[in-house]
Amino acid sequence: GNSVTQMEGPVTLSEEAFLTINCTYTATGYPSLFWYVQYPGEGLQLLLKATKADDKGSNKGFEATYRKETTSFHLEKGSVQVSDSAVYFCALGSTGANNLFFGTGTRLTVIP
């Protein structure tokens, strides 16, 4: 079946620190992979995605590479800002449907 395992938080970093949030997946077929972000009091919004192996998704300084050999889609950012404080969800989109399978979410707090 489909599942996503995500690094548990919370994660607290100082401004300008390097961020990595680990995500691994189990899936049948060839899934698409997503990172969604949830800012306080809001719904989720797409941060980036990759639809096939070796694709790199990027947005707002965040990057993630779809690694089929390690079944991973780790999120990285070279220099975090206070405004990046949010909950980050890794998700898998199953082939042939639009349903998403989510990880448990990782809360990131960036302190000045």
Partner 1 sequence: NAGVTQTPKFQVLKTGQSMTLQCAQDMNHEYMSWYRQDPGMGLRLIHYSVGAGITDQGEVPNGYNVSRSTTEDFPLRLLSAAPSQTSVYFCASSYSMGLGTDTQYFGPGTRLTVL
Task: By CB under 8 A, name the binding residues for partner 1.
Answer: 4, 6, 31-32, 34, 36, 41-46, 49, 51, 89, 93-100, 102-105
**Shortest separation between residue 47's beta carbon and partner 1, angstroms:** 10
Q: Which is nearer to partner 1, 27 or 80 (CB)?
A: 27
**Shortest separation between residue 84's beta carbon and partner 1, angstroms:** 19
Q: Which is nearer to partner 1, 19 or 36 (CB)?
A: 36
Q: Give the up-direction half-sphere exposure of residue 33: CA atoms within 13 A in the CB hemisphere.
A: 34
Q: Which is nearer to partner 1, 42 or 69 (CB)?
A: 42
**Shortest separation between residue 29's beta carbon and partner 1, angstroms:** 9
